[in-house]
């Protein structure tokens, strides 16, 4: 059976300066997924890239070769990160540890803000995107479907998200902390994605007086602004709006900074007594880090959110412990399914061999002159004998596959009966696992 290999970096191992070098656009993530499954060691691959992490989940028969290929591919697709720099901040997980890691990610237990709500949608989008690129298969589809189920179960059975916090709400709280009275203040949001809209909404809920949304596509900016009672504009208005804004939130997927330190300095020239709060939650960053040195400017980037997160950790600790128990249960459930998938070809091969022997003996017996009724009776009796003989080994093989050393018993069965079963997994069309979303159906050996 293929191994599950996970390689990546996250907010736990790398600061934003390094994470932004590996932040992937939708197009880059699709290209990376397609290139990975063309590698001879990799059968399936899902690429996940958010503001806090960039990870690859791959199924491969050669785990070591796959890990090395993923590392090389991530460095190649990144911007300015060397292999030695990547090796200093990366992590890698194998098989059950990789499954547990994904389940923790999808459940927000590995997030900067435990209990945040955006990550489940990001995990689903990553899976669906790679399915569209035909880089997923039976194992990936089951794995990511169960990861989302585990996340839903944790949110239902624990109170990890009882006080819903997210990157957007934390960003809005930072703005209110810097400017306690948001009433009568003007906010500027750059970006037209869900994070930008969620942050704009959180600011309005905290009493922000006016809102302007700027996006590359003016129509999108106007749609968001209309839903929130603000005004939507294009990037040609950025300089003017920057000079009027008290709170600036940046959440775009631009590959370079959109607001320079010089622009911030110009915007603050005529308002020495009125500060500007800039909250940059984009990776790569939308605001030049040097803007933090401009007099009157207060700049927060996504790593600064950790300070706010710490205020919520104690209240969530007990719920998180229960959530970790659920993760363990879900990992065991996935392992049992995967083991069952591995033993299926062995059982099928055993039954096919036995049936071939039965049919061969019946054919030899048919050389004698026997009637149709007698032939039917022989067929019925021999089939019943075969089923009874194979019933107990079949049941025990399936039970053994779910145990810690179960695959050794399955290999013994293969060896004792001389079953030449290739190391493969059944196709999704066999009914072993649902086949949505449409992607590659099973890894190539």
Structure tokens at 246: 């008290």
How far is it, in rounded angstroms, from Cα 151 to Cα 323? 9
Closest CA to 165 of 112, 107, 110: 112
Residues recorded for the chain: 445
Residue 32: how many CB atoms within 10 A of its CB?
23
- What is the edge-to-edge ordering of all strands in the sheet holding 3-10? 44-49, 53-60, 3-10, 91-94
| Residues forming a β-bridge with 343 | none
Give Cα separations from 136 to 243, 432, 439 (angstroms). 48, 16, 5
Closest CA to 260 of 292, 232, 234, 230: 292
Give Cα separations from 287 to 51, 234, 261 (angstroms). 15, 18, 8
Please say if 51 is a catalytic residue: yes
How far is it, in rounded angstroms, from Cα 23 to Cα 11? 12
Q: Which of 51, 88, 237, 250 is catalytic?
A: 51
Question: Mind telling me the catalytic residues?
Answer: 51
């Amino acid at each position: 059976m293929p191994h599950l290999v996970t390689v990546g970096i996250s907010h736990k191992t790398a600061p934003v300066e390094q994470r932004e070098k590996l932040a992937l656009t939708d197009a880059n993530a699709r290209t990376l997924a397609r290139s990975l499954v063309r590698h001879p060691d990799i059968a399936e691959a899902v690429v996940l890239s958010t503001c806090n992490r960039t990870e690859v989940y791959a199924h491969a028969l050669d785990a070591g070769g796959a890990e090395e290929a993923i590392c090389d591919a991530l460095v190649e697709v990144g911007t300015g990160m060397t292999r030695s720099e990547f090796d200093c901040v990366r992590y890698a997980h194998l098989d059950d540890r990789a499954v547990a890691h994904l389940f923790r990610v999808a459940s927000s237990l590995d997030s900067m803000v435990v209990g945040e709500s955006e990550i489940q949608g990001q995990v689903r989008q990553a899976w669906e995107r790679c399915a569209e690129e035909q880089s997923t298969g039976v194992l990936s589809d089951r794995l990511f479907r169960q990861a989302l189920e585990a996340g839903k179960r944790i949110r239902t059975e624990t109170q990890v998200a009882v006080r819903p916090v997210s990157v957007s709400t934390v960003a809005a709280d930072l703005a209110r902390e810097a400017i306690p009275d948001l009433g009568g203040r003007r906010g500027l949001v750059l970006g037209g994605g869900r994070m930008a809209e969620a942050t704009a909404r959180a600011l309005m809920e905290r009493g922000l007086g006016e809102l302007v949304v700027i996006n590359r596509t003016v129509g999108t900016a106007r749609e968001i602004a209309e839903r929130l009672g603000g005004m939507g504009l294009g990037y040609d208005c950025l300089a003017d709006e920057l000079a009027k804004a008290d709170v600036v939130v940046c959440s775009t997927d631009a590959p370079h900074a959109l607001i320079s330190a010089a622009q911030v300095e110009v915007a603050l020239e005529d308002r020495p007594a009125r500060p500007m709060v800039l909250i940059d939650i984009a990776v790569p960053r939308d605001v030049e880090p040097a803007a933090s040195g401009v007099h009157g400017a207060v700049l927060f980037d996504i790593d600064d959110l950790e300070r706010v997160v710490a205020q919520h950790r104690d209240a969530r600790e007990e719920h998180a412990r229960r959530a970790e128990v659920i993760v363990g249960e879900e990992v065991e459930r996935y392992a049992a399914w995967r083991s069952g998938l591995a033993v299926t070809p062995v059982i099928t091969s055993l039954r096919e061999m036995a049936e071939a022997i039965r049919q061969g003996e019946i054919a030899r017996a048919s050389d004698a002159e026997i009637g149709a009724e007698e032939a039917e009776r022989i067929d019925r009796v021999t089939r019943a004998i075969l089923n009874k003989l194979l019933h107990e080994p079949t049941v025990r093989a399936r039970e053994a596959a779910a145990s810690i050393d179960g695959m050794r018993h399955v290999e013994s069965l293969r060896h004792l009966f001389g079953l030449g079963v290739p190391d493969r997994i059944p196709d999704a069309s066999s009914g072993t696992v649902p086949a949505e979303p449409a992607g590659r159906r099973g890894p190539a050996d």
